[in-house]
Amino acid sequence: MGYEGHAVGNPDRSARAGAVEESMALLYQALEDVGGGITSAGATGTYDMHPGTDEVQAGSYLLMDTHYEHLALPFGIALSLEATVVSVSPKGWCVLDCGLKSLGMDHGDPTVPGLSVFFCSDEHTTVLPGDSGELPEVGSRLRVLPAHVDPTVAYHETLHVVDGEEVLEALPVDLRGW
């Protein structure tokens, strides 16, 4: 099993492909030296760069996140966190009821469409007006897009499958202790 984690987020596709080629050469050398029946490698950012590999372990593609969004992959963001505006300052910012304890932050700040993320603390995210110059009102529900889906999912006990405002299904998440 190989993983070219050092290359998966590089915005230069040819650089990603070169790093995959080097990594796969090491994997195939290990296969020759120690044996084995299946070769496994990859990630979302390099999902299509492994000819001759038995399986590709792309994971984030299923739900996607903003970390991979800049790579122009053929996958759409399907995971968001719904947060509530808990305060609005007359000085020009508002605070949401989600933060580090509910969002994977190891790949950067989350994205709040239409607003600019200023700061994330443990339980809150402070946002500034976006291009419109407007802030939402207290009580507004906003969609927050995580920068990294894996740890974001692990912070929660349930995923809700929604279509617009309708909850279609609630799926339990069992990742305790990982």
Amino acid at site 139: G
Q: What are phi and psi of 55, to 5 degrees?
A: -150, 150
**CA 82, CA 152: separation in Å to the nearest integer?**
12
Flag whether the pTM goes above 0.75: yes
The ranges of the chain annotated as CATH 2.40.37.20 are 81-172
The Cβ of residue 163 has, within 10 Å, a number of other Cβ atoms equal to: 8
CATH for the 81-172 domain, from 3.90.1580.10, 2.70.150.10, 2.40.37.20, 3.40.50.720:
2.40.37.20
Say how many C-beta atoms besides its own lie within 10 A of residue 104's C-beta. 20
Instruction: List pLDDT tens digits, range 39-87.
Output: 899 899 999 999 888 999 888 999 999 999 889 999 999 999 999 999 9
Q: Name the residue among 85, 44, 39, 40 with its Cα closest to residue 64.
A: 44
